[in-house]
Amino acid sequence: MKTDENADFLNTISPYFSVKPTKYGGRGCFANTDLVQGTIVHRCSSPLSSTITRPFKKQVCESCFKFSEGKTFKFKLTSRKNTSTSTSPSALYFCSQSCMDKFIALDIDDLYLESVLNVERLFLRILKDRCQMNFKDEEEQETEMILKLENELKQSNNNELFISQKWQEVEMICQLQLSKLKTKQRQNLDGFIPRINENEYLDIKYIIGILCQMYKNEYKSLSSESSSSLELQIFPYLQSNDVEKIFKYPYLLHSYTNKIYKFLKFSTCENLQPYITPPIIRSIIGKTLTNVYGIWSIDETNGNEEFFGYSLYPSASFFNHSCHPNVIKIKNEGYFSFKLLRNVQKNEELCVNYGVYINDDFETRQKFLKQWFFDCLCQRCVEEINVKNKEKV
Ligand SMILES: C[S@@+](CC[C@H](N)C(=O)[O-])C[C@H]1O[C@@H](n2cnc3c(N)ncnc32)[C@H](O)[C@@H]1O
């Protein structure tokens, strides 16, 4: 994470709040003046990146995330390249012509479209192979590898260093494999693609979205077009939790390095290759868990939620959680608004709810929030902790 020094632009996110350090660590959003209930303190339109799960890809709009309630959307984009290898080419789906046009306008020479469709093509092939062939030996080998990695991680007395070494190792392995190939052989690296699972497929599409934004930014600055988007400028300042996450789920280190990284290295086009380096991919993955917003459907009749994927809006990533929030996130088609639930005083922190049930007791709320690796220190929790401590005395 970049330090916030010289990051004055973080205070250009909204005229209503500034991003400042909180008492409990990290940064938060603080009201610049007294504000009245109902004020929209922030609005973000296009995410820096997003990813939709495969089962819902035909029913959730790639642009605005609208759900078709089970029907397949009519508007779709397929590859403009020759797809002679596939009888039913994969596609990206949209709820309307205008959403499809918006998507095309944001892409650059179909880079994102073609890259994501390529992930889809490769993943479909992996799924087909899985149905037709037996990969028992390969799966056993993988389980052994993961167990070995878990043990090494437990025994290591410097987790950060251990994780960095594993990232460097995988880069060296990829370079070595590539160096053994003749120029012609390098044109089709499908044989080197690791067999990824659904979660890895989801993450890879999301990573590609950010890499395309990085490419677009560099391409624009070369052609002296407008400078980088605020969302991309903010991205390096987001908090990363990769060490905590890997320590809790060590198999993820295997997934990130031997699966996701190798997949990206051997499958993505030349334009994106300069960005496929351990520091960049590690930083994207590390910032995912605690900063992305889930894309969910809510069935009003029974309250059931369905997970459709996730998206990242860096400008909306500085809102901390509160169990008595004063801001609500509202999803309109294609954008998020952040609206005040009550009047707020100057310098008061603006907080949203990360999804806890407000009526749950202290322990249940804390347990729920642990998935984002923090003990909630919102005002309500601190007051409840103080009462508990007094009762103990
Ligand atoms: C989306 S980020 C919010 C911005 C973050 N504070 C920063 O400096 O980048 C979420 C992270 O902020 C911290 N956080 C959010 N709400 C919190 C709370 N109520 N108590 C303690 N930490 C909190 C946690 O570290 C959490 O993983």
102-136: per-residue pLDDT in tens? 999 999 999 999 999 999 999 999 998 888 777 77
- Distance CA(5)–CA(312), nearest Å, equals 23
The total number of structural domains that make up the chain:
2
CA of 239, closest atom in ligand 1? 9
8 Å CB contact between 362 and 370: no
R_g (Cα) of the chain, nearest Å: 22
pLDDT per position as a tens digit, 241-288: 999 999 889 999 999 999 999 999 999 999 999 999 999 999 999 999
Q: If you measure from the C-alpha of residue 149 to the centroid of ligand 1, how many angstroms do you get, rounded to a whole number?
A: 29
Q: What is the dihedral of CA 5, 212, 316, 294, to 10 degrees?
A: -140
Nearest residue CA, atom 14 of ligand 1? 320
221 shares its domain with 138? yes
Residue 301 counted as domain residue: no
CA of 320 to the centre of ligand 1 (A): 5
- Residues 299-320 have a mean pLDDT of 86
Q: How far is the CA of 37 from the centre of ligand 1 (A)?
A: 23
Quick one: average pLDDT of 26-42?
97
User: What are the backbone angles phi and psi of residue 335, rounded to the nearest 5°?
Assistant: -145, 165
Nearest-CA neighbor of 30 among 8, 14, 43?
A: 14
Answer yes or no: do 374 and 256 share one domain.
no
Q: Name all residues whose Cβ lies below 6 A of ligand 1.
A: 24, 26-28, 239, 290-291, 317-318, 320-322, 372-374, 376-378
ipTM: 0.99
- Separation in Å, CA 367 to CA 323, 362, 372: 13, 9, 10
* Distance of alpha carbon 137 from alpha carbon 146, whole angstroms: 14
Q: Among the atoms of ligand 1, which is closest to the Cα of residue 318?
A: 4
Residue 226 shares a structural domain with residue 349: no
Q: Which of 335, 333, 307 is nearest to 45 (CA)?
A: 335
Q: How far apart are CA 352 and CA 194, in angstroms?
A: 39
Which of the listed residues 237, 261, 291 is the one where a domain comes to its end?
291
Q: Show which of 260, 291, 322 is a domain's final residue.
A: 291
Task: Spell out the residues 6+ positions from residue 352 whose beta carbon is closer than 8 angstroms to its own.
Answer: 319, 320, 321, 322, 325, 327, 328, 329, 338
pLDDT at 223: 60
Domain co-membership, 176 together with 321: no
Q: Given the DSSP bridges, would you call strands 320-321 and 349-352 parallel, antiparallel or unpaired?
A: parallel
Nearest alpha carbon, ligand 1 atom 18: 376
Q: CATH number of the domain that 16 lies in? A: 2.170.270.10
Please tell me whether residues 24 and 157 are part of one structural domain.
no
Ligand 1, closest atom to CA 289? 27
Q: Each residue of 72-95: b (16+ CB within 10 Å) or e?
A: ebebebebeeeeeeeeeebbbbbb
Note whether residue 380 is domain-resident: yes
Same domain assignment for residues 131 and 214? yes
Q: Which domain holds residue 31?
A: 8-45+313-392
Confidence of residue 302 (pLDDT cuts 50, 70, 90): low
Question: Quick one: residue 203, left, alpha or beta (phi over 0 = left, psi -120 to 50 = alpha)?
Answer: alpha
Domain membership of residue 31 (yes or no) is: yes
Alpha helices, H only, the chain: 97-106, 111-132, 136-155, 159-179, 198-222, 230-234, 242-248, 251-254, 262-267, 278-291, 362-369, 379-392
Is 60 part of any domain?
no
Alpha-carbon gap, residue 390 to 393, rounded angstroms:
5
Give pLDDT, residue 130: 80
Q: Atom of ligand 1 at shortest distance to CA of 1?
A: 9
> Does residue 221 form part of some domain?
yes
Q: Pairing state of beta strands 49-52 and 305-312?
A: antiparallel
Asked if residue 69 is part of any domain, the answer here is no
Tell which one of 22, 42, 240, 290 to mutate to probe ligand 1, the residue whose CB is within 8 A of the most ligand atoms.
290
Question: From CA 297, how far away is CA 300, in angstroms rounded?
Answer: 9
**In this structure, are 129 and 255 located in the same domain?**
yes
Q: Which of 239, 323, 336 to mutate to test the pocket of ligand 1 (most atoms within 8 A of CB)?
A: 239
| Window from 8-17, 178-187, 221-230, 333-342 with minimum mean pLDDT | 221-230
User: Nearest Cα to 146, choosing from 256, 254, 71, 291?
Assistant: 254
Residue with tokens 């209930």: 37
Q: Report pTM.
A: 0.93
Tell me the mean pLDDT in the region 25-30: 93
Same domain for 340 and 258, yes or no, is no
Residues 294, 310: contact at Cβ < 8 Å? yes
Is 298 a domain residue? no
Residues 172-228 have pLDDT tens digits of: 999 999 888 877 777 777 788 999 999 999 999 999 999 999 999 988 766 655 555
